[in-house]
Amino acid sequence: MADTIDPQLGLFANNRIRPLADRITALVLAAQSFQADYAAYGINALIVASGNSNTIGDGSAADGRPRITGIQIQNFKAALDQIVTNATVTTVPGVGATPANIAQAIQVNGSTR
């Protein structure tokens, strides 16, 4: 197979496509790691035990960061679950591969090799 030598296509591939594939790969791996830690540390049980609507004492009140509640953490986890499922299970129509598989084949810096 011959290389396409269009300079604009080469620049776009290196400056836009590969970096975005790196980010997608890194996001999926970070989200999967979060899921594993959330389960291993029993975070949901801790949230339920302390009251879902209570704010988390993470020092944010003292330094101006927005306070977060247990419900917000549970919602964040649910959103990450959906992102991971969409990236790793759902295939792209007409392509037959998941977004994670497509990005993995292109990325160079999103994960260790």
- Over residues 65-106, the pLDDT tens digits come to 999 999 999 999 999 999 999 999 999 999 999 999 999 999
Does residue 111 lie in a domain region? Answer: no
Domain count, the chain: 1
Domain coverage including residue 101: 8-106
| Residue 69 CB contacts under 8 Å (≥ 6 apart), including other chains | 52, 53, 54, 55, 56
User: 98 versus 1: which is more confidently predicted?
Assistant: 98
Q: 56 CB contacts (<8 Å, ≥6 apart)?
A: 67, 68, 69, 70, 73
Tell me if 37 sits within 8 A of 63, measured CB to CB: no
Give the C-alpha separation, 104 to 31, whole Å: 15
Q: Is residue 21 part of a domain?
A: yes
Residue 56 lies in a domain: yes
**Mean pLDDT score of the chain:** 95
In a domain, 2, yes or no: no
